[in-house]
């Protein structure tokens, strides 16, 4: 295994689309549409204003910038250089001072700044890396004792294949073909186990559902396709 927990093909895939990241009608439309749900859910649990937040796998900065607009002090990290440049430029043009971006692996940042963040977010990222359990451990290590850690990913089952790949990529063309690889999808029990091994306490699961006709998204108890998981790092080990 290479020293960096990243897949060059995955980095290149999102790098090639970097210029479209902030176009709400582009391939990234689903990220724009789900972002208010993700942001509100994170903020309701972690109350991010004034908190130090790191967004792992931040891409073009849609979530990171929205958290900064809520008053958090945000660091966005990613290993795909072109989306990072897009994120930096967008924040600069918007005049947002309380956000910074770095090209660094989660594991490297955890070694450099252990226990330094009130909130760690890692959304729509775990299903794109070779060793997701290593990222989960890094997220735990970055969080302060008592800090919040948030994940979102896609379940691995026939319904998820039907909806997230056949539906979203081929039928509805909401996402570019090849965005997701079914074998890399993660069942909630697997993610919970990685969190437990890393030392995180799981607090809340939420499913994210979508009506393609109305383009409406909502959170529910159905984790069969897209789901989110909120965790906390114990105050004492």
- In order along its 237 residues, the chain shows pLDDT tens digits of 345 777 777 666 665 666 788 998 887 888 899 999 999 999 999 999 999 999 999 999 999 999 999 999 999 999 989 999 999 999 999 999 999 999 999 999 999 999 999 999 999 999 989 999 999 999 999 999 999 999 999 999 888 777 666 655 545 555 566 566 778 899 999 999 999 999 999 999 999 998 878 889 999 999 999 999 999 999 975
Candidates 85, 81, 90, 72; CA nearest to 24 is 90
**Beta-strand relationship, 73-77 and 216-220:** unpaired
pTM score, whole prediction = 0.90
Task: Establish if 213 belongs to a structural domain.
Answer: yes
Task: Establish if 212 belongs to a structural domain.
Answer: yes
Task: Establish if 3 belongs to a structural domain.
Answer: no
Q: How many domains does the chain have?
A: 1
CB 45 within 8 A of CB 230: yes
Task: Establish if 100 belongs to a structural domain.
Answer: yes
3-state DSSP percent of the chain in helix, strand and coil, to 5? 45, 25, 35
Give the position of tokens 């809340």.
204
Burial 166-186 (b: 16+ CB within 10 A, else e): ebbbeeeebbbeebbeeebbb
Candidates 133, 193, 127; CA nearest to 154 is 127
Candidates 157, 237, 143; CA nearest to 190 is 157
Task: Establish if 209 belongs to a structural domain.
Answer: yes
**Domain span holding position 93:** 8-232
**To 5 degrees, how large is the angle CA 146–CA 152–CA 157?**
135
Task: Establish if 1 belongs to a structural domain.
Answer: no
CATH number of the domain residue 99 falls in = 3.40.50.150
CA distances from 119 to 27, 173, 199 (A): 28, 33, 15
Task: Establish if 2 belongs to a structural domain.
Answer: no
Task: Establish if 187 belongs to a structural domain.
Answer: yes
Phi, psi for residue 118 in degrees, rounded to 5? -70, -35
């Amino acid at each position: 295994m290479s020293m960096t927990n990243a897949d060059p093909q995955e980095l290149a895939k999102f790098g090639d689309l970097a210029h479209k990241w902030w176009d709400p009608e582009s391939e990234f439309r689903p990220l724009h549409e789900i972002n208010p749900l993700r942001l509100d859910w994170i903020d309701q649990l972690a109350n991010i204003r004034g908190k130090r937040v790191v967004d792992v796998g931040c891409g073009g900065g849609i979530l990171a910038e929205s958290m900064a607009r809520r008053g958090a002090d945000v660091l966005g990290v990613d290993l795909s250089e072109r989306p990072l440049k897009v994120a930096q430029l967008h924040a600069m043009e918007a005049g947002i001072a309380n956000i910074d971006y770095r090209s660094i692996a989660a594991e490297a940042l955890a070694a450099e700044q252990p226990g330094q963040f009130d909130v760690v977010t890692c959304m729509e990222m775990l299903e794109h890396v070779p060793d997701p359990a290593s990222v989960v451990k890094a997220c735990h290590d970055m969080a302060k004792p008592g800090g919040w850690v948030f994940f979102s990913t896609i379940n691995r089952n026939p319904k998820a294949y039907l909806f997230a790949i056949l539906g979203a990529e081929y039928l509805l063309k909401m996402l570019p073909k090849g965005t997701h690889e079914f074998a890399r999808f993660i069942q909630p029990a697997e993610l919970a186990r990685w969190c437990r091994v890393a030392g995180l306490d799981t607090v809340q699961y939420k499913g994210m559902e979508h009506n393609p006709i109305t383009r409406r998204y909502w959170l529910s108890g159905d984790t069969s396709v897209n789901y989110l998981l909120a965790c906390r790092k114990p105050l004492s080990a």
